Amino acid sequence: MTPAPHTHTLANGLRVTLVEDNTTPVVAVNLWYHVGSANERPGRTGFAHLFEHMLFQGSEHVAANEHFELVQRSGGTLNGSTWLERTNYYETVPAHQLALALWLEADRMGRLLPGLTQEKLDTQREVVKNERRWSVDNQPYGTWWEKLPALAFPGEHPFHHSLIGSFEDLDAASLDDVREFFATWYAPDNAVLTIVGDVEPEAALALVETYFGGIPRGRARPALGDLSVPERFEGWRRQVVPDEVMASRLFLAFRSPPFGAVDADVATIVAAVLGNGKGSRLQQQLVRGRQVATSAAAFTFDLSRGRDLLVLDVTARPETSADILEAEVASVVDDFRRTGATPAEVERAIALSTTEFVTSMQSAQSRADRISQYMTYRGNAAELAAWSDRLAAVTTEQVNRWAAAWLGEDNRASLLYVPKATVEDHT
C-alpha cells in the first residue's frame, strides 16, 4: 500500500506534497501554478498558454530547449498543459535524477526573467499562432473549446474568453507585458509541488528546500473577476456553427456544481450513466441502437470556482441531419429525467468510474497530478484518497434527483456543428 502523503509549506509559501512509492525506481515531479486563462486581462488573452511554451525556452542557467534535452537524456519524460484555472509542468525521471528535475523546475520558477528575450517571445508567439491554426481554426470542430465557454459564460466572466488567445492579443503582447504576467503569477506562494515515487520524503524535502527555498514570494496578485452566475442557464441557449465537416456534432452543456462539491460527485455518475462506455445510454440508444450517431461521450470541465459544466459530446452519422441529432440527444436526456436511472446503471457507472480512477493512480505522474489538483483547488491532498469512497456512496436516488434538477430545458446550452452545405436549414 502506498504511504500517506507528507505535506509541507516552505517559508516562501510553496506547498509541497511527497508520497513514497517504492514499487518502481522512478519519481514524478509535478508543479501546478494557480494561473490559467481566467487570470488574463482583456486585450491580453492567451498569456497563460503562451507561458506553457515560454517556460521551456530556458532560464538563467538553462539554455533554450535544454530542459527537454536534460530530462530526456536522463531517461525521463516531461510536458506541460494549461487550462482555465491552472497551468502544470511535469517530469517523470529515474529516481536518482530527482535533483535534476527539481533544479530545472526551480531555475525557471526563480530565474526565468534573466533568460527571457524578445527573440524567444517572438519565436514562441509564432509557435502558438501556428498551434491555433492547426488545432483550432483548421481542425474540424476545433473551435468548440472556445465557443462553448463563450456560450456558457457571460462576456465579462473570467471563463468566457479563449484559452489559446486571439491573433490580435498575441501580436500585441510586449516583452514588458510578458515579464509582468510571469512576475505576478509564477511564484512559489502561487504553486503546488508534488513528488511521488521511489524517494525518501525527508531527503526529498531537503532537496526541495535547497532548490526552491531561496525563491522569494510573489507580488500581490489581482483578484479574479466576478465568477458568479445563476445556478442554471435559465433557458436553452443555442448556437449553430457551420463548419467544414462531414457530419454534425452536438455539444450539450449543463451548469453543474463546482469541483469538490458533494453534488459534483453525483454529477460524475450522471455523466457516466449518460456517456461513459458502451453501456451508457447515449452509446446504447444512439450509437448501437438507433444508429444515428458514431460516437458519444460525457465529461465535466472540473472548474473549481463558480459553476462547472457537464458536457455531452455526440457526433452524428453522415446521413443523420443536425435536427435529428439534436432531437435524439434531447430525447435521451428527457427520458433520463423522466424515468431516472436504474440501480444497475448507477452500479455500472460507479464501477467504471472507480476502475478508471484506480487504473490512472497506477501511474506515479497521474497520481502526482491529481494530488496537485486537490492541493491547488481544495487545499487538501487527503480528499483524493477518499474520492472512490465518495463515488461508491452515491445512490440511485441522488442520481435521479440530480438529473431531474439539473438536466432540464432551463439549464441547457447547445453548440451544434453542421456541414456548411446544410447551414441554410439552421439559420
How high is the pLDDT of residue 364? 96
SS3 letters across the chain? CCCCCEEEECCCCCEEEEEECCCCCEEEEEEEECCCHHHCCCCCCCHHHHHHHHCCCCECCECCCHHHHHHHHCCCEEEEEECCCCEEEEEEEEHHHHHHHHHHHHHHHHCCHHHCCHHHHHHHHHHHHHHHHHHHHCCCCCCHHHHHHHHHCCCCCCCCCCCCCCHHHHHHCCHHHHHHHHHHHCCHHHEEEEEEECCCHHHHHHHHHHHHCCCCCCCCCCCCCCCCCCCCCCEEEEEEEEECCCCCEEEEEEEECCCCCHHHHHHHHHHHHHHCCCCCHHHHHHHHHCCCEEEEEEEECCCCCCCEEEEEEEEECCCCCHHHHHHHHHHHHHHHHHHCCCHHHHHHHHHHHHHHHHHHCCCHHHHHHHHHHHHHHHCCCHHHHCHHHHHHCCCHHHHHHHHHHHCCCCEEEEEEEEEHHHHHHHC
pLDDT at residue 426, rounded to an integer: 53
Q: State whether residue 106 is helix, strand or coil.
A: helix
pLDDT of residue 41: 87
DSSP code at position 328: H
| Spatial CA neighbour of 100 closest among 78, 71, 68, 63 | 71
pLDDT at position 421: 76
- Strands 235-243 and 411-419, by their bridges, are parallel
Mean pLDDT by 10 residues, the chain (427 residues): 81 97 96 96 90 90 94 97 96 98 97 92 93 93 95 96 91 91 96 97 97 96 92 95 96 96 93 96 97 97 95 97 97 97 97 94 95 95 90 96 96 96 61
Q: What is the pLDDT of residue 239?
A: 97
